[in-house]
Amino acid sequence: MSLVNITNVQIPNNPTLFNTEFQFEITFECLAPLKEDLEFKVIYVGSAESEEYDQELDSIMVGPVPLGMNRFVLTTPAPNSDKIPTDDTIGVTVVLLTCSYMGREFVRVGYYVNNDYIDEELRENPPPQVDFSKLYRNILVEKPRVTRFLIEWY
């Protein structure tokens, strides 16, 4: 049984321009006292072909964690576009929100992200180089994939 359960994640600035920071409003419940802080991370998957292009956008330690419901906003920078292969910039990718306790990941929330131009003309006739100032990202918040891992809490 998990001592911490993520009960809700809201992404208030969605959809938005690709270069805009990510915001995750995270609500979680703590069911028992914790000796250590929780670590939350946001990882942007730059390419389905290799983890080499994954970017850890930010990580934050949260604690001490009181019993009951807790909420905070995790704001991270946008991914570094120079580290994403050109062929993987436009289209579908993934952003992951993970939570760990004492270095052990116990939950991962994955969201599909669609990166595309909002302007139909640019979608039909994309420029030779990606114009990040006109590229939008849309996180499919309605269908997160939640994976839970059993860990020893004490």
30-80 tens-digit pLDDT: 999 999 999 999 999 999 999 999 999 999 999 999 999 999 999 999 999
What pTM value is reported for the model? 0.95
**CATH number for position 129:** 2.60.40.1490
- The per-type count for the chain, helices as H runs and strands as E runs, is 1, 10
Domain presence at residue 153: no
Domain presence at residue 81: yes
Domain that holds residue 60: 4-148
Nearest to 7 by CA among 150, 144, 153, 149: 144
Domain presence at residue 154: no
Domain presence at residue 135: yes
Structural domains in the chain (count)? 1
